[in-house]
Structure 1
Amino acid sequence: MSHSTSPFGQDTLSADHVERSLGMPGTFALWLGANVVVTTILTGMLLAPNLTFQHAMLLVLLGSAIGIIPLVLIGLMGQQTGMTTMVLARGTFGRWGAVFPAWVNLLALIAWSWIQALLAGMSLDHAVSTLTGYSNVALFTVICEGLVVLIALRGHLGIEKAEKLAAVLMLLLSGVVVFALARNYDLPSITEMEATGVLGAGVIFDIIIATAFSWIPLAADYNRHCRSPRAAVIGTWGGYVAATLIAMGLGATVSTLSVSIGFPQTYDPTQLLSSFGFGLPAALVIFFSVLTTNVMCVYSATLSFMSVRPSSTFWKPALIIGIVSVIGSLIPGILDQFQTFLLIIGSVFIPAFSLMIVDYFLIDRDQYTARQLIDQADRLPAINPQALGCYIIGAVLAYYWNWVAPLSVGASLPVFVLTGTLYYVTRQVTQLQQKAKA
């Protein structure tokens, strides 16, 4: 990647010019800053009092530690090859087959950006109205997304700097919120509260897994900049698990405490925390966390577009996607669809990335070179029919087990394992048949 004097990032799909700018601390900070975010806090609010606090946090630890493994593996693929997630998809699905997940990822990330921008706007509005009395959610939403676009236009180096700062701020501000809770209320009492909700442990475990899986499309986009496989694996795993424990733990704590003292549950933590008298630090936590996460969404959406239109200059689609994100964030009622949106992403992406991991680590890693996937992409097969067939089966299973006949253990892990296993067996049988014919 060239060191240009342009104010815009010069990020490309080329694996030959990837800057190895992330050591282990930087990788840890990147994934910590990205995941101490309000949507993860909201997920934590679903956990308790559906389960006891201790049970919920045990599931958070196990679910995040297991669920992050596919993301770590896709990120390792990026670190070893220097290529983005959707370029790597060409090796599994073929030249045209990879276009579908790229477009789905682009649209999913834009939708993520809409939700995140609205939440950031709500948080900034709360902070400003607390200090000045002025309130205008739409205006602050536009301001937040404007900042997102400016940071994203700087490329991966700008994002890495923002995430390091965000990681420190998140830890400090989260500490302030927990300290204020402990000082004003009987915090240990949350461990004594009984489960009162309708969501079972299996569904909640699946939601935690799906939260981790929802990050997989972004993994190689950032971890291709890691200096070593060790940084890519340990930094990513540690940063994500720590972030999930902090964010979901904060959500579960606030949710359980609010119910125990008679406050209604709400999807706006700033509103809930302001009832306790310290909404301002919570609003700042949410604002900074959403801002940095949203930057990653806009950046990866841009790379997904570039994988379909390789001739695009980075800043042009980044700017257009940012503008679309601003407009979409003003859609009424978009926040109500958050949980459904998570499950839809899982249905689409879980089988796709299961295939990519199996194909790269177990079947044919040699085909995943920049020469084959970028320089000579026009020579790739248009579609890998075996991968496409297994993907369709996996997507159908994900839909069936999520909406038609939900499994008690959730659909995410079963779909991931079954799809990958089916693809591996199919490829092995095909290779044996080819050898027999030869």
Structure 2
Amino acid sequence: MNRHTPSAFGRDTLDAKHVERSLSLPGTFAMWLGANVVVTTILTGMLLVPSLSFSHAMLLVLLGSAIGIVPLVLIGAMGQRTGLTTMVLARATFGRVGAGLPAWVNLCALIAWSWIQALLAGMSLDYAVESLTGYSNVALFTVLCEGLVVLIALRGHLGIEAAEKIAALLMLVLAAVVFYALGRHYDLPSITEVTAQGGLGSGMAFDIVIATAFSWIPLAADYNRHCKSMKAAVAGTWGGYVAATLIAMGLGAAVSALSLSAGLAQTYDPTQLLSNFGFGLPAAFVIFFSVLTTNVMCVYSATLSFMSVRPTTPFWKPALIIGIISVLGSLIPGILDQFQNFLLIIGSVFIPAFALMIVDYFLIDRGRFTHQNLIAQAGQLPIFNPVAFLCYAAGAALAYYWNWVAPLSFGASLPVFVVTGLFYYVATRWQRRTGGASA
């Protein structure tokens, strides 16, 4: 474990040689639990029911999260072993300039996530203030929430780790209270008797759960580089994420089933939904905090992605600009209506890229993934890796085709991940045998 002065306000860097190992196994578990027991994951659970029965939906959630988290765990393990951020690791696969593509794509995706999170936080805080004072202004509270997000993000990973521990505890308490309230007001076991009404098929539902897990992959190394041990990085991440997904999606599926059976309309506003059971105000504060901490993770990793392309930029500058962009985007009308499509799009974009990185590190040549090679001597790296880009393009094309042109009954995420990785493994081995090299 490295011992040195903790990172100062706004001073987090890409440095791997002096990375702070601050996350134990319980800390890692709490961080990923707090990150994913959040309203957007609850909303995903609401998407599954009543298209599917509750039991069927939860089986898919268990399988999808347990399988979908594996690539995230692997990228996180790469970060723990090397001390490098996700997009710096991408340099080994895509080249020193080529890595800018996944970095910019990741930056845009995280900003879009931040739009959704900022709006949900603003809605929750607005509900709480209106309940207490009668004053309502979602736009103002969204701006205030995002301002707080930027302040926490500027503190760096230490501030995020502390906030996630509190968020994990609060969201566990909230989930327990919600299920208790549901049990008191309704026949909770009856949710297992709700019949599927069509809409999402099993394959699409499974794919959404997988895509939710894959959407976190770009953040994995950014945080798990601070894990004290590989056990903490692997067991803490897998356990925290799967537990969070079961709790959050299970809560969303349960509330959806019961609210519809009681004649209540589904809503994207969690505080409005929970107020139907008599505890909207406390839930608003807890949901606000949970969304806030998740949004901090988005802004922080988006900042690191920018720094991987512009390494001389001080941390605070992109963090501040990204925070402002997040506020403006959160005010786009109807943004939450595109939530399901957004999940599938980011899955299509990220699955091929991280399939290449995982195959490159674990099956081809992990010796290239070092601080010396990717940071200290980055100027000696190839400009870009044409094989990686060709395989990425093939994987992205397959993702588009299998998602929107000829959808697979069992979803496209896993097939795209496996096929793209196989393409890259075969192409790279063939290139090395024939003496080819990156540009």
Q: TM tier, shorter chain? A: over 0.9
The 1-side partners of 2:15 and 2:316 are apart by 16
Q: Which moved more, 1:285-294 or 1:159-168?
A: 285-294
Decide whether aligned partners of structure 1 residues 237 and 5 sit closer, same or farther in structure 2, where only a CA change above 3 A counts. Answer: closer
- Counterpart position of 1:89: 90
Matched, 1:288 2:289: yes
Structural mapping, 1:211-230, within 5 Å: 211-230=212-231
Mapped pair 1:151 → 2:152:
yes
Give the letter aligned to residue 364 of structure 2: I
Instruction: Report what 2:186 is aligned to.
Output: 185
Q: Is the 8 A contact 2:6 2:20 kept in 1?
A: no
Tell me how far apart the structure 1 counterparts of residues 71 and 10 of structure 2 sit (CA, whole Å): 28
Residue 376, structure 1, aligned to residue 398, structure 2? no
1:4–1:10 Cα contact (<8 Å) kept: no
Deviates more, 1:221-230 or 1:309-318: 309-318
Whether the 8 Å contact between 2:7 and 2:156 is mirrored in structure 1 is no
Give distance in 2, aligned partners of 1:141 and 1:398: 34
Give the counterpart letter for 2:260 in structure 1. V
Distance 1:4 1:41, change over 3 A: closer
Seen in structure 2, the aligned counterparts of structure 1 residues 96 and 5 have a Cα distance that, compared at 3 Å, is closer
Q: For residues 170-200 of structure 1, what are the alpha-carbon distances to aligned partners after superposition, in whole Å with 9 as ceiling and x for unaligned? A: 1112211111111111111111111113111
Q: Is 2:275 the counterpart of 1:278?
A: no
Partner of 1:109 in structure 2? 110
SS of residue matched to 1:313: coil
Q: What's the counterpart of residue 399 of structure 1?
A: 400
- Secondary structure of 1:153's aligned partner: helix
Give 1:125's aligned residue.
126
**How much has 1:243 moved relative to structure 2?**
0.5
Letter of the structure 1 residue corresponding to residue 5 of structure 2: H
Q: Could you state the TM-score of these two structures normalised by the residue count of structure 2? A: 0.96
Aligned partner of 1:60 in structure 2 is 61
Measured against aligned partners, the alpha-carbon deviations of 1:49-81 in whole angstroms (never above 9, x if no partner) come to 111111111111110000000000000000000
1:220-369 matches, cutoff 5 A: 220-369=221-370
Equivalenced residues, count: 434
Which whole-Å deviations, capped at 9, do the CAs of 1:376-405 have from their partners, x for residues lacking one?
111100111111110000000101111111
Q: How does 1:21-40 map to 2 (within 5 A)?
A: 21-40=22-41
- Deviation by residue 1:110-148 (Cα, 9 ceiling, x = unmatched): 111111000111111112222222211111111111111
Are the counterparts in 2 of residues 174 and 282 from structure 1 also a CA contact under 8 Å?
no
Q: Identity of aligned pairs, percent?
A: 78
How far did 1:273 drift? 2.1
Q: Secondary structure at the match of 2:407?
A: coil
Residue deviations 1:88-129 (CA, integer Å, cap 9, x gap): 000001111100110111111111111100011111111222
* Whole-Å separation in 1 of the counterparts to 2:238 and 2:6: 33
Whole-Å Cα distance in 2 between the matches of residues 277 and 226 of structure 1? 40
CA distance in 1, matches of 2:428, 2:205: 34
CA separation in 1, counterparts of 2:12 and 2:199?
47
**Alpha carbons of structure 1 residues 425 and 5: separation in structure 2 relative to 1, 3 Å:** closer
Distance 1:195 1:382 in 2: 52
CA displacement at 1:318 relative to structure 2: 1.1
1:314 CA drift (Å): 1.1
Q: Quote the offset at 1:5 in angstroms.
A: 8.6
CA distance in 2: counterparts of 1:59 and 1:332, whole angstroms: 32
Question: Please, what TM-score do these two structures have when normalized by structure 1?
Answer: 0.97
Distance 1:355 1:5 in 2: 32
Equivalent residue, structure 2, for 1:420: 421
Q: Following TM superposition, by how much is the alpha carbon of 1:4 offset from its aligned partner in structure 2, in angstroms? A: 6.5
* SS across alignment from 2:434: helix
Aligned residue type for 1:18:
V
Q: Which amino acid aligns with 1:45?
A: M
Query: Cα deviations across residues 337-386 of structure 1 (Å, max 9, x unaligned)?
Result: 21111111111110000000000000010011111100111110011111
C-alpha separation in 1, matches of 2:263 and 2:356: 47
Of residues 423-432 and 289-298 in structure 1, the stretch that sits farther from structure 2 once superposed is 423-432
C-alpha distance in 1 between matches for 2:12 and 2:406: 44
- Residues 38 and 286, structure 1, Cα contact 8 Å, conserved in 2: yes
Please, which moves more after superposition, 261-270 or 119-128? 261-270
2:37 maps to amino acid: V
Q: Give the secondary structure class of the aligned counterpart of 1:76.
A: helix
Q: Which amino acid aligns with 2:372?
A: R
Query: 1:100 matched to which residue of 2?
Result: 101
Q: Supply the AA of the counterpart residue of 1:310.
A: P
1:3 maps to: 5
Residue 20 of structure 1: how far off its partner (Å)? 0.3
**8 A contact 1:120–1:291 mirrored in 2:** yes
Query: 2 CA distance for matches of 1:203 and 1:40?
Result: 16
1:208 aligns with 209
Task: Tell me the equivalent position of 1:16.
Answer: 17
SS at match of 2:155: coil
The amino acid that maps onto 1:118 is: L
Deviation at 1:48, TM superposition (A): 1.1
Tell me the SS of whatever aligns to 2:192: helix
Residue ranges of structure 1 left out of the alignment (5+ in a row): none
Q: Which amino acid in 2 is paired with 1:117?
A: A
Give the whole-Å Cα distance in 2 for the aligned partners of 1:401 and 1:331: 29
Q: What is the alpha-carbon distance in structure 1 between the residues aligned to residue 250 and residue 281 of structure 2?
A: 19
* Equivalent residue letter for 1:185: Y
How far off its partner does 1:429 sit? 2.1
Distance 2:229 2:277 in 1: 45
Consecutive unaligned residues in structure 2, runs of 5 or more? none
